[in-house]
Amino acid sequence: MTASAPLPPQDAARVRADLARRALPLLDLTDLSDACTTAAVEELCEKARASGVAAVCVWPRFVADSVRGLRGSGVRVATVVNFPEGGEAVERTVAETQATLADGADEIDLVLPYRALMRGDAESARAMVEAVRAACGVRLLKVILETGELEDPDLIAQASRLSLEAGADFIKTSTGKTAVSATLPAAEIMLDAIRAHGGDWPVGLKVSGGLRRVEDAAAYLALADRMMGPDWVSPNTFRLGASALHAELVRVELPRAGEAAR
């Protein structure tokens, strides 16, 4: 069996542009850098408005600024709690969640107490998710599993099931703050748990950490299409959490001068 011939340059460019157009509306445009400033968040919101991403994801202290910067755009505001340590202080995390919701956050990205799970204490992990789920009400809850730290496929599967059973709307791969972030094998395990979960409403996957190229996004989209069907991916079921990826998607999506007329 012979290998497929490479696409001609023009066709390859068109394929990458189509992938970029598909990926941009799925993006959670993120700035969780330690040096983030109000000015940086204002710039982030301008980029989000211009490119039609799903959401911005910022530190809790920047939620109110982001809400003002995105008003009327349709772009949602996500923030992080229990981040990045994934501790077990339920009351503190619930209070943090309530404060960010009061500031106008649409979505909460909660770090699962993954170390508790690793030492066999699944109930502490479950209690955190259930408490934050209750605090979120109708707002979207994404649970960050920190799959690079869990590492063991059985633990990743357990964390996925536990989070979904406790009320997560999305399960998310990583904080982006550890040595190993998103991987295709971990995403496959998580999608398998989503497929098996069922339930009365759709649940989704957020891939986050280390996504920088169009090809990175394409690999996870192909995995989701293969496992969940070609019509499953939408902003309600699939997100890409990234900062550097945004510039590459915008660059690839926009045609070079003269291309549109060809």
User: In terms of Cα–Cα distance, which of 159, 213, 151 is closest to 183?
Assistant: 151
Q: DSSP class of residue 107?
A: E
| Of 31, 169, 206, 216, catalytic | 206
Tally Cβ neighbours within 10 Å of residue 67: 17
- The b/e string for 159-177 (b: 16+ C-beta within 10 A; e otherwise) is bbbbbbebbbbbbbbbbbb
Catalytic site includes residue 172: yes
Contacts of 29 (CB under 8 A, 6+ apart): 44, 47, 48, 51, 53, 55, 56, 57, 242, 243, 246
Beta-carbon-side half-sphere exposure of residue 189 (alpha carbons within 13 Å): 21
Catalytic site includes residue 231: no
Catalytic site includes residue 177: no
| Of 109, 142, 169, 216, catalytic | 109
| Of 28, 31, 47, 172, catalytic | 172
Catalytic (active-site) positions: 109, 172, 206
